[in-house]
A = this chain, B = another copy of it.
Amino acid sequence: MIDKKIKKSNERCALQEILSIIGGKWSMSIIYALFPGTRRFSELERLIPNINTRMLVKELKNMEANGIVSRKVFATVPPTVEYTLTTKGEKLEPIINELHKWGLEYVN
């Protein structure tokens, strides 16, 4: 009984940990924009309406730190920066798609 309660409690903490990774205002939109494949910073900026440069930089930095995206810099002038989902990030695809379907059915 106590074990079960601790397990339950850990499960909810896991959910909060997950939300801290993908629950930011823009994270899911960025992940969604990366599903088709690698994108340049400028492409992401164009693809995600209403996000500003500072926010996009900040979210991508968080996502990189959380192992959701990988970042590659090319020594061009000006430098080209590309972002790709890691395996951890890719595994979110079916879940975010399901969430999206839920939204289409139930939100408005």
A11 surroundings in chain B (CB, below 8 A) = 32, 100
Say yes or no for A77: interface residue by CB 8 A criterion.
Answer: no
Q: In terms of DSSP, what is the predominant structure of the interface of chain A? A: helix
Q: Are A106 and B67 interface neighbours, CB within 8 A? A: yes
CB < 8 Å: which of B12, B100, B102, B104 contacts A29?
Answer: B12
Contact present for A8 and B47 (CB under 8 Å): yes
Q: Could you say which residues of chain B place their CB within 8 Å of the CB of A12? A: 29, 32-33, 47-49
CB proximity of A33 to chain B, nearest CB, Å: 7
Binding site for B on A (CB under 8 A): 8-9, 11-19, 21, 23, 25-26, 28-29, 32-33, 47-49, 67, 88, 91-92, 94-96, 98-100, 102-108
A sample of 20 inter-chain contacts (CB < 8 A) reads A13-B49, A14-B100, A14-B103, A14-B107, A15-B28, A15-B32, A15-B103, A16-B25, A17-B103, A18-B28, A18-B99, A19-B25, A19-B28, A23-B25, A67-B106, A88-B106, A91-B105, A94-B98, A95-B95, A95-B102
